[in-house]
Structure 1
Amino acid sequence: MPLPFLTADRAYEQAADDIPLPYDDRDRWRRPYRPGPWRVGAGALLLLLASYVLVAAVIIAFTGTLSAAGAVLGIALAVIAGALRMLRVGVWVSARGLRRVAFLGTRTTPWEQVVTVRTVQQPVRWLGLPRTVQGQALTLVRKDRAPGDMPSLLTTHSADFLARPQAFDRAADSIEAWAAEYCRD
């Protein structure tokens, strides 16, 4: 079974230095980095929990009422949907623009509205929690908003890049290369 999210870093690593965008189909939305081990581990734990809840739904269906089994099945499906959505969270790029996928929403910014994408040193949230630490963030500056209004696209202390500074640098360089290619005025 092909897992396209595992080939994103390999394609970037194998690309020549003079080719900033190593993808053939630039109209397809893609995440230019792999999901981090924290995100994948949390998704795996949620899917494990969902499997236990599904077994509980089957047991309840055989021994109890079907409405209770349906309610437990609904909980399991919600956990599965949450785990899959959590794995999709991140920054996606294509020739049409830059897409920031969050857990509860998605925002797409066309390249025409992007002024610049750059890496800055600033306080960042640790694993999305309220605690902040000093780190790097990839920020987006749009034409129609003030520079401080947009949330960071990527940070060195997010679930994708915690304790993986080289992966953050590769992902930030790749997204900056997409922006440099498509934000020419």
Structure 2
Amino acid sequence: MPLTILSADHEQSAGAEISEEPLPYADRGRWRRPYRPGPWRVGSAAVLLLLAAYLLISAVVITLAGTLSGAAVCLGSAGALLLVALRVLRVGVWVSSHGVRQVNLTHTVTVKWPKIAAVRTVQQPVRWLGLPRTVQGQAVLIERRSGEPLRTLVTDRSADFLGKPESFERAADVLEAWAADYGPGGRG
């Protein structure tokens, strides 16, 4: 029996309908992710944080042993792992009334709504958990008016949606709704 009071999805598990629109008082100018980070993304960040904790403990033990250069290396490595873990949690697509922001592990691309031609869901080969292996799946494509389309990050086989097809469909619908509201011909 799930303890719904302890889960973030307790409204969902209680049978309540989740709205695609943000709350009426929510600031639409604020950058927000239109979906929750998936278990694979959160799990990989947790493993990185666990490794960083071991490195921090190692730095303390090495410092007590009297080798400051080794402790500095452990401390620096732990800091780098912490930054990577936080960045892994931020990876994805973010939307606001200003446009679409695509956050990758190493860089971020922001495209304003007037520069976006279409946001649509297509069937195509997609990467499984971001690895080189591709499988047939669905992807949300964001096409620019000029230039090449954004790299696909929202797929049904990504770290956010693997094994959660309903969540992918909901996220794709929300992204398409934001594009309809703020894209060409929208109210934005």
TM-score, normalised via structure 1 length: 0.87
- Which residue matches 2:95? 93
Q: Is the 8 A contact 1:140 1:153 kept in 2?
A: no
The equivalent residue for 2:5 is none
1:163 has 2:167 as partner: no
Aligned to 1:73: 75
Residues 57 and 70 of structure 1 are in contact (CA less than 8 Å); yes or no, is this contact kept in structure 2? yes
- 2:153 and 2:22 map into 1 onto residues whose CA distance is 21
Q: Deviations over 1:76-120 (max 9, x none)?
A: 010111001000000000000000000000000000100110000
Aligned positions of 1:29-178 closer than 5 A: 29-146=31-148, 149-178=149-178
Q: Do the aligned partners of residues 13 and 61 (structure 1) sit closer, same or farther apart at CA in structure 2, a change above 3 Å counting? A: farther
Whole-Å Cα distance in 1 between the matches of residues 130 and 164 of structure 2? 16
In structure 2, runs of 5+ residues without a counterpart are 1-7
Q: Is the 8 A contact 1:137 1:155 kept in 2?
A: yes
Which residue is 1:3 aligned to? none
Structure 1 match to 2:4 = none
| Misfit runs of 4+, over 3 Å | none
Name structure 1 gaps, 5 residues minimum.
Answer: 1-5
TM-score by length of 2: 0.86
Name the CA distance, whole Å, in 2 between partners of 1:21 and 1:96.
Answer: 16
CA distance in 2: counterparts of 1:21 and 1:182, whole angstroms: 13
Equivalent pair of 2:113/2:184 in contact (CA under 8 Å): no
SS at match of 2:114: helix
> How many Å separate the matches in 2 of 1:13 and 1:101?
29
Q: Secondary structure at the match of 1:112?
A: helix
Q: What is the aligned length?
A: 172
Q: Per the alignment, in what secondary structure is the counterpart of residue 115 of structure 1?
A: strand
